[in-house]
Chain A
Amino acid sequence: MKHSRQGKKDKTDGDDLRRKLFPYKMLSPFFVLTGIFVAVPIILMIAISFSSMGLDLQWEFAGWSNYKRVLADSSIPIITLRTVLFVVICTVLSVLGSIFIALMTTYYLDIAYKRENAGLLFRIIWLIPSLTPSVVYVFIWRFVFGSNTQALINGVLDKLGIAPVTWLANYPMQILIFICCLSSASGSVILFASAIRQIPDNIIQAARVDGASNFYIMRKIIMPYLRWPITQKTLWSVLSFFCTYEIIMLLTAGGPGGKTTTFAYYIYKNAFELHKFGLGSALSVLLVAMSALIGLVVLRVTKVEKQLYPPRMDW
């Protein structure tokens, strides 16, 4: 009898353990993939940052020398400041841009004026920048802002008798921000559009019955529903703009005179052009720390923990 009770207890304990372990078992493929593709590269990056690895890819311990070099680099403060400004401006503009496009195409065209086909068409057109490969995308903008009269804008100016402007020389950062924002805003249209579509029709109709204008509905009903997508988009934008380098490389190569060199491009330049992989890794560690810190600030500012409790889109 005693044995039988003991056996039942053991069985129950075993079931409890299995139940407790079940989620971890289900997550194990994710842990493995994250380990291989995220944790290992991070560990390697940190390890390389303590080496003097060059083109021969040999790991030679170099202590803190790479970090000391970074701290002694007189260009780091200006590059950091430039990067923060680039990230902040691009994030704000791309979030506002995404919301604006989504409101125009989804709320006004789809919901308010029942022109769903037109809304869909505009959304598809707006998706083009984010669907275009970076190389092609930048090539198109280089053609648009080219310095000679064969380029698009200068060609038009030439036809109007206005002297051509060397756009990329005079406004490199402005153009860089513009094309980065356009691409980023374009990619998030689907996110915001689907969030707007999830708003129950009866809420909007009730507001209309109460005499609310489109602008009022947009401000008081739609915008609160977009809090979660805005948080997600903001966080995503911050992290991706911190890491932007390929558009810079293709558009301005960090120039002219280093005016568009951001932290990520500086890392690329040190690691893959000058082949100082150790220094590049040390810079990368700092970039990861910096972006993680700003990411946490974004999460705190947007009070993400409060948004996680109720249903995200249809509360």
Chain B
Amino acid sequence: MLKMKKTIGLLAVTAVMAAGMLTGCGGDTAKDSSQSGQDTSAEGKTYTIRIAGNSESQRSENIIRACDRLTEQLAAEGCTDVVRGEYIMVPNDYQNEMALWNKTGDLPELIVGNVIMMHEFADAGFLTSAEDLINGEVYSQKLLPNMRDAVLVNGTHYGVPQDVDVRCVWINKEHLKQLGWSEEEMEALPRKAEEGQFTEGDLQALAKEAVDKGVSEWGIIHRPVFGSEFHLMLMMHGGQELYRDGKVVLDRSALTDTLTFLKQNVDMGLTPPELTTYGWEVVEGDLMPNGKTFCWYGGIWNKYDMMSAANVTAQFVDENFILILPPVVERGDTPISLSEPQAYAMTKQAASDPKLQEYCERVLEIVLDPDLQMYTTIETAHVAITSEMLEYPGYKSDEFMAKNSYMVEYTTMPVSDPMVRNQFLNASWFTAIQNVEMGSSDVETAVNTLIDEVTYSVGEGSYIVQD
């Protein structure tokens, strides 16, 4: 009996001690650390911010450093919390991976992805609002105004831009010289395009001259897979409005004009008919850097890609190419460009703990520091997104950026609605281009097929067809 009493007493003391220890260490944050992204120690808490990014977002270094910098700032403020960044690379199947993370309740706190992807994630309920962040002092002061709505989904900001690209036309300088252009004429070309005095027809004529004179093998090329350059071409031919009141807008005349332009290029011998079956290694690794094409519809990031794909130097790219805004269709029109920024967004996991969300927001503010912005601008050939960066010596001293950053003033954000992106632009629009360029279909049939496909795909009441 006495032995039993002793045992009960010992158990009671142990239980009291255990309860006391738990209260002392954890306090109000005695949560599962793996779920909340935090760990507790006697001095303070360690917050692990997991950042998931796809293979295009290999620029993780800046955000990891931003986490370290936040820890330093917290220490300076007398707080002993530690913030640690952990980058999770998701090379493929990003969306499906996110869906599974969400299902298991273990979303990473931050994600990096293009703005189109963010729209899908916001619609699926993975993200938390970034209104406080974007309306806060730091973003209001630093972010360029036309970047503000990069991740605006149904009236709510769900993220902030990480970088910004601009779509443009690259022209081979050497080819222009061989066509008899002087240095002054070449220097003046970007300005002429900016003023709307250099048209698509002018570009076609020049490219044709280059091909006919044997200066280059091809005249005008574009990306080999679906992407926003084709979206921009459609906009330039009158299809600015692709989405209205929750419906896909199919502008028959814009679709016809764009396909006609692409078909003309093939018929004139400017574009390889099978271009859309080439790999990037051919386009960026050979045709572009090796002077096999007079020009191409691409983007500012092609510099970085060419350097990686063809092992050419930045100096080679700077010396051999001129970038201009995509030429207007009608002389005197104002040129337009299109950007598809990478963006950061906070998931609902970040919002699960106010402190964690606060740190995530602070990390996203720190990442705007110019030295950290260098990772996502100069190093990957993207344009500055902050006014501070435009004046930063490291950015300003880069001749390529100094020359071409003005294009960001002409840029627009893409239509990111998944219905427009997935069913119209990425699938049917690209197939129509492919069929027209390869001669499998004439323009009229391709437009009709596209309209049939998209109207079926999005369903009754979700489309507007206009002539």
Contact = CB atoms under 8 A, between A and B. Distances in A.
Contacts of B277: 147, 166, 168-169, 172, 252, 255-256
B274 A56 contact: no
A54 B274 CA distance: 34
Nearest to A252: B277
B274 A170 contact: yes
Interface in A254-298: 255-258, 269, 272-275
Contact of A142 (B95, B102, B125, B279): B279
B452 A74 contact: yes
Interface string B75-105: 0000000000000000001011011101100
B427 to A, nearest CB: 8
Contacts of B103: 57
Contact of B422 (A75, A148, A258, A273): A273
Contact of B123 (A55, A269, A272): A55
B355 to A, nearest CB: 27
Interface of B: 93, 95-96, 98-100, 102-103, 120-121, 123-126, 272-274, 276-279, 282, 286, 418, 422-423, 427, 431, 434-435, 438, 440-441, 452-453, 456, 459
B423 A274 contact: yes
Contact of A56 (B102, B279, B440): B102
Which of B103, B278, B459 has the most chain A CB within a 10 Å cutoff?
Answer: B278
A269 B98 CA distance: 17
29 contacts: A54-B124, A55-B95, A55-B121, A55-B124, A56-B102, A56-B124, A57-B99, A57-B102, A74-B452, A74-B456, A142-B279, A147-B277, A147-B278, A147-B282, A148-B282, A150-B286, A166-B278, A169-B273, A169-B274, A169-B276, A252-B277, A256-B276, A257-B431, A257-B435, A257-B440, A257-B441, A273-B422, A275-B95, A275-B120
A273 B456 CA distance: 17
Interface size on A, as a range, is 20 to 34
A75 B453 contact: yes
User: Closest 6 interchain pairs by CB?
Assistant: A169-B274, A166-B274, A169-B277, A55-B124, A56-B124, A257-B435
Contacts of A273: 422
B266 to A, nearest CB: 12
Contacts of A275: 95-96, 99, 120, 418
A255 B431 contact: yes
B124 A257 contact: no
A146 interface: yes
A252 B274 CA distance: 13
Which of A57, A166, A257, A273 has the most chain B CB within a 10 Å cutoff?
Answer: A257
Contacts of A73: 456
Nearest to B430: A255
Contacts of A256: 274, 276-277, 434-435, 438, 440
Given A168-B277, A169-B274, 9 more contacts: A54-B124, A55-B124, A57-B102, A74-B453, A147-B278, A166-B272, A256-B274, A256-B277, A273-B422
Which of A54, A69, A142, A258 has the most chain B CB within a 10 Å cutoff?
Answer: A258
B279 to A, nearest CB: 7
A209 interface: no
A43 interface: no
A241 B360 CA distance: 48
A146 B279 contact: yes
A160 interface: no
